[in-house]
Amino acid sequence: MTRPRILVTESLGPKGLSYLAEHADVDSHDLLDPKLLPGLMGEYDAVIIRSAHRLTRELLSGHPRLKVVARAGAGVDNVDLNAATEFGIAVINAPGANAIAAAEHTFALMLAAMRNVPQGGGHVREGGWNRAAFLGRELYDKRLGIIGLGRVGRQVARIALGFRMVVAAYDPFLPSEIFRTHHVEEVTSLDALLVRSDVLTIHTPKSGPKLGERELGLLPLGAVVMNVARGGLIDETALSQLLQAGRIQAAGIDVFSQEPPRLDSPLLQAPHVALTPHLGGSTHEAMVEVGLMTCRGVLEALDNHSPSNLVNVPIPDVPDDDVKSLGRAMSLLGQIFSRLHAKIAGSLVLTVGQDIPRSAIPWLRQSALAAFLTDRVDERVNTVNALVVAERQGLGVLVEESHSHWPDALGLRWEGHPESEVAFSITSDSQVILRILEGIPMDMPWPKMAIFTRHQDTPGVIGRIGTLVGEFNVNIGQLQLGRRQAGDEAVLVMSVDARVPEDLRTLLQEQPGMHAVEVFWEE
C-alpha cells in the first residue's frame, strides 16, 4: 500500500514527527512561508498547520488528493469548516491535549492575582519591602464558579477540590451525571452561578456565553475573574472599569479579544490583574501531547476511521472500540443496501436499536449515507460531506427507534417498503451479525467475503449454487438461507474463503430461477 504524503507547515515537535514518519512520508517545516502553501496543497494527502496559516475555501478547493487537514491545537478558527465539509475533507484538532496545562495555568494566574504576586515582585525589584501593602486572599473555602465543564473545566474542578474550594459549574450541554462524577454542584442558569462565585473562571469555546457589564455586575463584591479560554468571552472594558472601581478585586487574563493587545488596552491599565501572553497550553508536556494527538487523528482519518478528534463529523461520545464496530456495521449496511437497491425509491429510513447510544445517531446517519452513496456518485463522498452530497442527490434519510428483537440492531430500508430492510446487530465482542436481509429474518456473523443470491424458492437451486462454487475451487464457510414463505423468493448468504471470480458470478446469475447475484468483500 502506498504511504500517504503529509505536509507539516509549522513546528510539531520531534515525537509527533517521528510518529508520523513511521506511517507516512512527511515534509516538515519550522515555519513555511504562507505564500508557498497554495502551490503545495494539491501534492499531499494531509496538511497539518498550527496558528500561522489559514486554510480558506480557496486553498481547500480543487485538490482531489487532499483528504485531511489538521490544526495542532484545540481551536480551528483558521480553517474554513464549511468548505472542508463540502469538499469531504476531514478536519482534525487536538482538544484536551493541553487541558492539564490550561487548568494549571488557571491556578497560576488565580494565585498570582489573589496573592498580588506581580505587584509584590515589582515592589521588591524596586527595593521595597512593604508586606502590608500586598495582603492577599486564600483559595481555601472560596466558592469557585466554572462556566463550561469540558476537558479543561473538569481539570480545574479537580485542582480546586484539592485546594478545598467549594466548586459549582454551569454547562447546559452536559447531563447531570457528569457533574456528579466530578464532584461538582450543577447550577442550571448562568446568573445563578454568577451571584454565588467568589472566583469565576470560564472554559468554553468562542460560542460560549459572553460576560458583559450586566453579568460581571452580578458577581459578589470583591470577586476574582479568570479567563484562560478564549479572547472576547469577557468584555475587557467592563472588567477593567469594575476593577478600577474595586467592585471586582482581581483578575487573571491569558487571552485577549485582540492578540497581542494594544498598549492602550483597558486591561493593561487596570489594577490587580495578572497577565500572560496566551500561555495556557504552553508547556513542554502539552506540546508533545498536542503533536501526538494531532498525528494519531490524521493517520486514523487517512485510514478511513473516525477518530474522536474529528471536528466536522459528529463523533459519538462512546469508547473508541465501539466507534470502530459501529463504523464497520454502518459501512456494511450502507454498501450492501446500495448494492441490493440500485434505484433510489424515496427516503431512506435508518432504524436504531434501543441499546445504541442516542449520541451516536447523527454520526450513524452520516455514515449510512456515505456508505450508500460511495459507489453512486463520481465525487468524493464520506461521513464528512455525506449530508451535502445526499441533498444534491435529492436523497433524504429519516431516523426511527427500533423496538425489534435486537435492541443492538441497526437497519436501513426505503420508507414505506419494509420488504427492503437490511439490518445488523453488534454483539458485546464487536461481531457484526446479519439479522434481516430484504425483509427476511437471518442470523449469521457477516463474513469478510460473501456471495449473496436472491432466487426463486424451488428445488435444485441451492445444489446448483454449491456445485458451481466447488467447481471454481472456492471453499464455502457458512451458509444462511431465508424465505418469506415456501415457493416465494428466497435469499442466500454464503461465506467463502477466497475472492469470487467474475466468471463464477456470471454463471450463477445465468442459473434457472436466479433473480440476482452479488459478491461482497471487505478490504
Cite the active site residues.
230, 259, 278
What's the rounded Cα separation, in Å, for the pair 254 and 277?
Answer: 6
Say if residues 232 and 261 touch (Cβ distance below 8 Å). Answer: no
* 211: helix, strand or coil: strand
Distance between the two ends of the chain, CA-based, in angstroms? 12
| Chain Cα centroid distance, residue 204 | 16
Grid cell listed for 287: 506540546
Crossing angle of helices 117-125 and 99-114, in 10° steps, is 60
What type of residue is 363?
Answer: W
State how far the Cα of 184 lies from the Cα of 174, in Å rounded to an integer: 12
- Element (H or E) spanning 5, and its range? strand 5-8
CB 347 within 8 A of CB 396: yes
Q: Give the residues across from 48 on adjacent strands.
A: 8, 70
Pair 356, 408: CB distance under 8 Å: yes
DSSP letter for 63, please.
-
CB contact at 8 A, 67 and 383: no
d(CA 413, CA 420): 5
> Identity (one letter) of the amino acid at 30?
D
Contacts 24+ apart (CB under 8 A), 237-242: 237/266, 238/212, 238/213, 239/211, 239/266, 239/267, 239/270, 240/266, 240/267, 240/269, 240/270, 241/213, 241/266, 242/213, 242/216, 242/217
Q: d(Cα 406, Cα 409) in Å, to the nearest integer?
A: 5
**In the beta sheet, which residues pair with residue 476?**
496
Per-residue CA distances from 152 to 97, 106, 252 (Å): 10, 10, 16
Is there a contact between 431 and 445 (Cβ–Cβ < 8 Å)? yes
Q: How far is CA 68 from CA 4, 23, 137, 385, 479, in A?
A: 11, 15, 49, 13, 40
